[in-house]
Amino acid sequence: MTEIIIKNGFVFDPINKINGEKMDICIKNGKIVESVNEHKAKKIDATGLTVMPGGVDIHTHIAGGEVNTGRMVRPEDHIKDAVSKTALTRSGSGYSIPSTFVTGYRYSKMGYTTVMNPSMAPLEAKHTHEELNDIPLLDKASYPLIGDWWFVLEYLQKGDLESCARHVAWMMDTTKGYAIKIVNPGGLESWGFGKNVHTIDDQVPNFCITPREIMVGLAKVNTMLNLPHSIHLHTNNLGLPGNYLTTLDTMRALENVPNNGKPVAHITHLQFSSFGGDGWGSMKSAAPEISKYINNHNHMTFDMGQVIFTDTTTMTADGPFEYTLYQLSGHKWVNSDVETETSGGIIPFHYKKNNAVNTIQWSIALELALMIEDPWKIMMTTDHPNGGPFFAYPKIIAWLISNKARMATLKLCSKKGQKKSLLPTLNRELSLYELAIVTRAAQAKALGLKNKGHLGVGADADVAIYNVNPETTDIANKYKGVRRAFRSAAYTIKDGKIVVKDGEVVENVSGRTMWLDVHTTEKVKVDDDMRNRFKQYWTVEFDNYPVYDHYLKVPQAIAVKASI
Amino acid sequence: MITLTPLKQFKYPVYAECITPDVFQGKDIAEIANLPVNEGNQVKNLSDLFKIEEDNAATPTITINGDASEVRRIGIGMKNGEIIINGNVGMHLGEKMVGGKITVNGNAGQWVGGGMKNGLIEIHGDAGDYLGSHYRGVSEGMKHGVIVVDGNVGSDSGCYLRGGVIKIKGNAGPFLGYHMSDGTINVEKNAGPRLGANMIGGKIVVGGLAEDMMPTFTIDTSKPKVKIDDTQSAQGPFYVFLGDLAEDGKGKLFISKANNPKLKFYEKYL
Amino acid sequence: MTVIKSVTCPICGCLCDDIEVTVENNEVVKMKNGCAVCEGKFLGYKGEHRTKKPLIRKDGKLVPVTMKEAVHAAAEVLANANYPILYGWSSTSSEAQRVGVELAEEIGGVLDNTAVVCHGPSILGVQEVGIPTATLGQIRHRADLIIYWGCDPWSAHPRHLERYTNFTEGRFEKSEWTSYMTKLKAHAGNRKLASAMRIEDSKAKPKPQACYVGGSPPELSKGGRKLIVVDVRKSMTAEMADFFIQVEPNKDYEVLQALRALVKDKELDVDSVGGVPVEYLQDLADALVNCEFGVIFFGMGLTQTAGKFRNIEVAIQLVRDLNSKTKFMIMPMRGHYNVTGANVVSSWQSGYPYGVDFSLGYPRYNPGETTCMDVLLRDELDASLVIAADPGANFPKNAVQNMVKHPLIVIDPHMNATAMLGDIVFPAAFVGIEVDGTAYRMDSVPIPLHKVVDPPAGVLSDEEILKKILEEVKIIKAKNAKVA
């Protein structure tokens, strides 16, 4: 295998506390090593360039039934963004829901090497994995949706945490999943009959359980199983004015769950959960209230869910929320409930600058990123494609590092929205070091990916090199250049191979699909009882339900020893 | 003025987006000859498929003499100038056109003037389906401008119409003016079934037989005549229907009384 | 003798996966749980007319050749074609479909699946207005109102009612099996009586009725699951229904649109729609609004009759409107067992579900323009590859004539009509019997297909054949590029 030495770059590696030091990075056999034979190794001259670990996305909808239905219903989204075949790359199409190959290429061109697909209905997990196999150049993993899974509801209702935990462990293996995903807990089961829950203490119809009990129960299960990531949570009342109160209730509810000092939950796309006001007219930012709480507590992590002003496609397992969006937009609406497990919905959505609510949403995400003091707590996402397509990340980078960039956008926005934006009061500008935290290091840490998000010896040789000279560039002032640099990486290295050079794909590799192989002392017993229950709950046979190993092109099992 | 003559009868679809006055303007004949076009899955030069001749007159006009029924996307997005086609022409003629004029002395394929923003298209023969309509999944059809068809048009013409005028001197197929929200469609002869289905606004005038009325239109009144545009009005008398009720629509159908005796029973509601 | 359980049936969009197959000496000898169609396929797959070697047409006759020769000949045709079509894909695995998309892209062809002649209009309708839907289990557990519109599951999807709707036991809704059995018996009795009376008085032929309503509105307010059928004729499923509405042919659009207006409490000027008195429609509208969880299943009676995709669009709009009052879902009754998969795979790789034209180097989609039926009728093609479908038997005559004018490559386990017309024919193994893979059920749930017996020696799977052709095409294209 080729050895590579990246010479003289400015290295930003926050996990190892390296802040722009000029140093060499050595790569051998797909790993970062102490040193290589300088004569034999391929040299990359990174003089004057920024070197970071490969980007890590903690939450991006790129594959699976929901995403693909989005593709199917939006030919108008693709026709404006056709991608031609080349000698090396497959053809495809964008825009907000790119085809699989295009997804891989576009992420890699931005220096990303690991992405997490946060929403996988267990029943449709095979589909997700089939698509992940067709997403090149990236390591991937998926979170099964199990917050409203009947097994979970029943065990938690009975207070039988251990059985719940064993079945969750079984589910990780069965779906080849990576983390517990909870969406609008209790709301999805209610949506089965067109209802929803509105506080974390509402009763879920037919199940005698509340969202609070689901969240706390699964957080405890997560601890019992020692899963590398915490529960990954999409809160109740998402996307509704005044929902920050629910979000505060949710965070408080999880304060006392023990997790050996690690975060107990990750609230995803926080922007959508931080609305103040009591109607769309009075809707305003609740970033001050939310960030104040977060600055005083350390039991959770978050990601932004930044809104981009463009025509995108919203898709989430939160069926009732998508129905609300449909009532607002009147455009096409897809609903896709999944038996025994979850629901889902899709709505095309155009975030417009001249719309006050959209402007406030855009502002909230940035306010959160700037008002939450510890960058390790709030990571950069758009909740692709819900807030906007992932390839708009360079725009967010510009907004994060430059007040000037923020003001340039804000002044184009709705006057009413501008008035309500708190951005003019926030002068914080992220440094490249902090940027490396919010785009890779914090993600890897929150996900418990020990070999990702850093460049220490033994880490996976996933590296991004950007054409930014931190010594000579005032990044806040020259944000356009930084934006350009992060749009097309000078180099992206995946597993020790140069896959992108100057923003173009130069080699094709298949990434891995990571999943958790959770060992509990007692496994779920597959007896007649389990099979019968299975027959009653689902419409597929027990033996046809699991994602068998051959569904993963390049599998990487991560062994986890549970404490039960 | 540039004259294009097809060098052969095309078998494979030819995609010739470059055939617009805007692209030709300012190019000499050699440059025009080198413009890329697609024939099937092969990329060709315009001169591989057409004989190209230049006239001294500096008018931004393109004339096509011969059968261009497999040639698609002519005049796409054109802003000014004129295209004259002496023969039949293929799909997507003048799609997303912004200005200028296209004349077809022959028949045109489907999607003529799809998503048209302005300008004038005259077809002195028949036109295919989806005249002045939209691309799949988009809810916006033609916005402004005028399309005149001397012959018949296919189905779904004027669907998602947002404005402008479509004048059809012959018959129209089913789903005329589907989901239109503004603009005017005038059919001098007969209109097919599902006329104005899902209509939200605008008006459709039928001078001949309306083959079948949607049950979700309700009779409003009757009128002796109706204005089509500043230059033309249609002589009635007409029944005036409102709909589509299923969409809470405010669209208006003007249906000739004389040619639709079977609609007489609606008069009891007047 | 081995008994294999949980085998998936590779016939229709129901993808029943509870089939028990007994295998002896590499032959299926016994079946359990399957419907008649399923048993027919598993027990009859061997077929006496099955070819085991590739064939090439020489001097007008198909003669056996080696795999290598056939692959090279097919690749030569495809690599040098100006506008080839690649059609079929519905009765094969997603694994094969994946290779198909790449092959279409490589040769700049038009990739299309059988949806174009069945539920393509459903997709077009969905692209206009979306679709509120759910997996079949959701319907099994919750639906108290089930409507079959323009489809006859009793005949075409024989286990649909038993596994997913009225005759299945759900968590919140019970099976209506016993009450239907009683009803069927009564029907049978009535029929005997009627036929006896017809013999008695053969002159008094029953007049065809514009609208037949079986059952009366009280049946619509009964407890438990209700079954409503809307069709142009009284199908087998309609015999069992609580309420049947007979619509004049090609009038479904008007009926659905009228229902939308009625659901919105509008008054209609007319007395009847599509031959159905408005008061019946009003009863139906009330039933729709008053259910807890309703669902409409629709078939080709809606997708392929006048109005086509607009029929689906209006049906979806009706369901969408109903969701402001109750929970309502809609689902197409997909025919071939993996036609859904063909749409799914094509979408994730190209962005478009069917009718994808790669001739410009990138995917394009516009049914009517890029769909293979239209390409065939306009005779724009110069070669075709047909796999896992039989257009030779069911396409219009003009289309077939244009198809056989040009080189035709066929990949199929059967020596079907298309294969008989073909120039290069590859016999393939039966997917779901002789090879495994994945298929997508009508509700897009992926289900594994199982290999229960070995294919005959030398017979490859669709996926393997396609991979060989793709590889050879790449070699030929590289050579051609060098020469150029």
Instruction: Give the type of residue at A162.
Output: E
Closest Cβ–Cβ partner in A90, A99, A333 for C130: A333
Is the Cβ–Cβ distance between C100 and C89 less than 8 Å? yes
Quick one: DSSP state of residue A439? I
B136 lies within 8 A of chain A by CB: yes
Mutate to test the interface with A, among C21, C349, C451 (most CBs of A within 10 A): C349
Chains that touch B (3 or more CB pairs under 8 A): A, C
**Would you tell me the crossing angle of helices A356-371 and A287-295 to the nearest 10 degrees?**
20
Q: Which segments within C335-388 are labelled E, that is strand?
A: 356-357, 364-365, 383-387
Residue of B nearest to A332 (CA): B137
Closest CA–CA distance from residue B224 to any residue of chain C (Å) = 22
**Would you tell me the crossing angle of helices A356-371 and A393-401 to the nearest 10 degrees?**
60
B197 lies within 8 A of chain C by CB: yes
Q: Residue written as tokens 């229902």?
A: C259
Question: In the beta sheet, which residues pair with residue C131?
Answer: A334
Dist. CA B247–CA A318, nearest whole Å: 27
A206 lies within 8 A of chain C by CB: yes
Taking the mean position of all CA atoms in its chain, how far away is CA C229?
19
Is the Cβ–Cβ distance between B187 and B152 less than 8 Å? no
B230 lies within 8 A of chain C by CB: no
**In the prediction, which pLDDT does C207 show?**
45
Q: Do B139 and A331 touch (CB under 8 A)?
A: yes
Quick one: DSSP state of residue C461? P
Dist. CA A547–CA C363, nearest whole Å: 30
Is the Cβ–Cβ distance between B110 and B128 less than 8 Å? yes
Using DSSP bridges, classify how beta strands B120-123 and B101-104 pair: parallel, antiparallel or unpaired: parallel
Closest Cβ–Cβ partner in B129, B174, B219 for C368: B129
Is the Cβ–Cβ distance between C176 and C166 less than 8 Å? yes
Dist. CA A397–CA A385, nearest whole Å: 17
pLDDT tens string C393-428: 999 999 999 999 999 999 999 999 999 999 999 999
Closest Cβ–Cβ partner in C108, C127, C268 for B137: C127
Closest among B174, A309, B183 to C311, alpha carbons compared: B174
Q: Do C359 and B41 touch (CB under 8 A)?
A: yes
Q: Which segments within C292-367 are labelled E, that is strand?
A: 293-298, 327-332, 356-357, 364-365
Decide: helix, strand or coil at residue B139.
coil
Q: Kindly list the residues from chain B whose CB atom is less than 8 angstroms away from the CB atom of residue C379.
A: 11
In chain B, domain spans: 107-269
End-to-end C-alpha distance for chain C, whole angstroms: 59
Contacting residues for C332 by C-beta, under 8 A, at least 6 apart: C119, C122, C297, C298, C299, C303, C312, C442
Domains of chain C from N-terminus onward: 50-118+337-430+459-483 (3.40.50.740), 120-332 (3.40.228.10)
Taking the mean position of all CA atoms in its chain, how far away is CA A108?
16
Question: In the beta sheet, which residues pair with residue C389?
Answer: none
Dist. CA C270–CA C253, nearest whole Å: 15
Q: Kindly list the residues from chain A whose CB atom is less than 8 angstroms away from the CB atom of residue C312.
A: none
Q: Kindly list the residues from chain A whose CB atom is less than 8 angstroms away from the CB atom of residue B139.
A: 331
Q: Which helix (H) or strand (E) holds C316?
A: helix C309-322
Alpha helices (H) in A135-286, listed in sequence order: 150-158, 161-175, 187-191, 211-225, 244-253
Predicted TM-score (pTM) of this structure: 0.96
pLDDT tens string A404-455: 999 999 999 999 999 999 999 999 999 999 999 999 999 999 999 999 999 9
**In this structure, what token pair is assigned to residue C405?**
């004018």
Dist. CA B118–CA B115, nearest whole Å: 9
Closest CA–CA distance from residue B139 to any residue of chain A (Å) = 9
Dist. CA A53–CA A463, nearest whole Å: 5
Q: Kindly list the residues from chain C whose CB atom is less than 8 angstroms away from the CB atom of residue B217.
A: 269
Closest CA–CA distance from residue B248 to any residue of chain A (Å) = 13
Closest CA–CA distance from residue A528 to any residue of chain C (Å) = 14
User: Over its length of 564 residues, how does chain A's per-residue pLDDT go in tens digits?
Assistant: 689 999 999 999 999 999 999 999 999 999 999 999 999 999 999 999 999 999 999 999 999 999 999 999 999 999 999 999 999 999 999 999 999 999 999 999 999 999 999 999 999 999 999 999 999 999 999 999 999 999 999 999 999 999 999 999 999 999 999 999 999 999 999 999 999 999 999 999 999 999 999 999 999 999 999 999 999 999 999 999 999 999 999 999 999 999 888 999 999 999 999 999 999 999 999 999 999 999 999 999 999 999 999 999 999 999 999 999 999 888 899 999 999 999 999 999 999 999 999 999 999 999 999 999 999 999 999 999 999 999 999 999 999 999 999 999 999 999 999 999 999 999 999 999 999 999 999 999 999 999 999 999 999 999 999 999 999 999 999 999 999 999 999 999 999 999 999 999 999 999 999 999 999 999 898 898 889 999 999 999 999 999 999 999 999 999 999 999
**In the prediction, which pLDDT does C210 show?**
44
Residue A546's φ and ψ, nearest 5 degrees, are -70, 155
A80 lies within 8 A of chain B by CB: no
Dist. CA A240–CA A322, nearest whole Å: 11
A557 lies within 8 A of chain C by CB: no
What is the percent of chain C where pLDDT is above 70?
A: 95
Is the Cβ–Cβ distance between A310 and A351 less than 8 Å? yes
Q: Do B138 and A76 touch (CB under 8 A)?
A: yes
Whether the bond into A393 is cis, omega within 30 of 0: no
Pairs across B and C, CB distance < 8 A: 106
pLDDT band of residue C189 (cuts 50, 70, 90) is confident
Residue of B nearest to A73 (CA): B137
Q: Do B215 and C268 touch (CB under 8 A)?
A: yes
Alpha helices (H) in A141-203, listed in sequence order: 150-158, 161-175, 187-191
Quick one: DSSP state of residue A561? E
Closest among A92, A97, A2, A9 to A50, alpha carbons compared: A9
Decide: helix, strand or coil at residue A436.
helix
Q: Do A77 and B136 touch (CB under 8 A)?
A: no
Dist. CA B247–CA A379, nearest whole Å: 44
**In the prediction, which pLDDT does C140 show?**
97
Q: Which CA distances in Å does A422 have to A330, B110, C230?
A: 30, 52, 57
Dist. CA B192–CA B58, nearest whole Å: 44
Q: Do C348 and A84 touch (CB under 8 A)?
A: no
Is the Cβ–Cβ distance between B15 and B40 less than 8 Å? no
A147 lies within 8 A of chain C by CB: no
**In the prediction, which pLDDT does C208 show?**
41
Is the Cβ–Cβ distance between A266 and A299 less than 8 Å? no
Q: Do A65 and C444 touch (CB under 8 A)?
A: yes
Decide: helix, strand or coil at residue B267.
helix
Residue of A nearest to C120 (CA): A72
Is the Cβ–Cβ distance between C147 and C228 less than 8 Å? yes
**In this structure, what token pair is assigned to residue A70?**
């989005």
Q: Which CA distances in Å does B61 have to B17, B149, C203?
A: 15, 21, 74
Q: Kindly list the residues from chain A whose CB atom is less than 8 angstroms away from the CB atom of residue B137.
A: 73-77, 332
Is the Cβ–Cβ distance between A294 and A248 less than 8 Å? no
Dist. CA A554–CA A512, nearest whole Å: 5
Residue A51's φ and ψ, nearest 5 degrees, are -115, 125
* Complex-level ipTM beyond the 0.90 threshold: yes
B135 lies within 8 A of chain A by CB: yes
Q: Do A124 and C445 touch (CB under 8 A)?
A: yes
CA atoms within 13 A on the CB side of C445: 29
Mutate to test the interface with B, among A69, A72, A74, A76 (most CBs of B within 10 A): A76
Dist. CA A207–CA C241, nearest whole Å: 32
Q: Kindly list the residues from chain C whose CB atom is less than 8 angstroms away from the CB atom of residue A544.
A: 6, 8, 17, 447-448
Question: Helix, strand, coil proportions of chain A in percent (round to 5)?
Answer: 35, 20, 40
**Would you tell me the crossing angle of helices A211-225 and A150-158 to the nearest 10 degrees?**
90
Q: Kindly list the residues from chain B whose CB atom is less than 8 angstroms away from the CB atom of residue C307.
A: 174-175, 194
Residue of B nearest to A70 (CA): B137
Decide: helix, strand or coil at residue A246.
helix
Question: In the beta sheet, which residues pair with residue A78?
Answer: none
Decide: helix, strand or coil at residue A376.
coil
Q: Kindly list the residues from chain A whose CB atom is less than 8 angstroms away from the CB atom of residue C162.
A: none
Dist. CA C408–CA C380, nearest whole Å: 14
Q: What is the CA radius of gyration of chain B?
A: 20
DSSP per-residue letters across A502-539: TTEE----B--EEEEEEE-SSPPP-SHHHHHHHHHH-S
**In this structure, what token pair is assigned to residue A551?**
């569904």
Closest CA–CA distance from residue B57 to any residue of chain C (Å) = 35
Q: Kindly list the residues from chain A whose CB atom is less than 8 angstroms away from the CB atom of residue C351.
A: 71, 75, 77-78, 92-94, 97-99
What is the percent of chain C where pLDDT is above 90?
A: 85
Buried b (16+ CB within 10 A) or exposed e, A8-21: bbbbbbbbeebbbe
A13 lies within 8 A of chain B by CB: no
Residue of C nearest to A92 (CA): C350
Q: What is the mean pLDDT of chain C?
A: 93
Closest Cβ–Cβ partner in C108, C273, C368 for B110: C368
Closest CA–CA distance from residue C250 to any residue of chain B (Å) = 11
Chains that touch C (3 or more CB pairs under 8 A): A, B
Pairs across A and B, CB distance < 8 A: 13
Q: Do C82 and B13 touch (CB under 8 A)?
A: no
- CA dihedral sign of residues B17, B20, B24, B29: positive
* Residue A527 CB burial class (10 angstroms; 0-12, 13-18, ≥19): exposed
Closest Cβ–Cβ partner in A69, A99, A336 for C349: A99
B138 lies within 8 A of chain A by CB: yes
Closest CA–CA distance from residue C317 to any residue of chain B (Å) = 9
Q: Which CA distances in Å does A357 have to A276, A325, A421, C326?
A: 11, 13, 11, 29
Dist. CA C226–CA C220, nearest whole Å: 7
Q: Which helix (H) or strand (E) holds A131?
A: helix A125-133
Instruction: Give the type of residue at A292.
Output: K
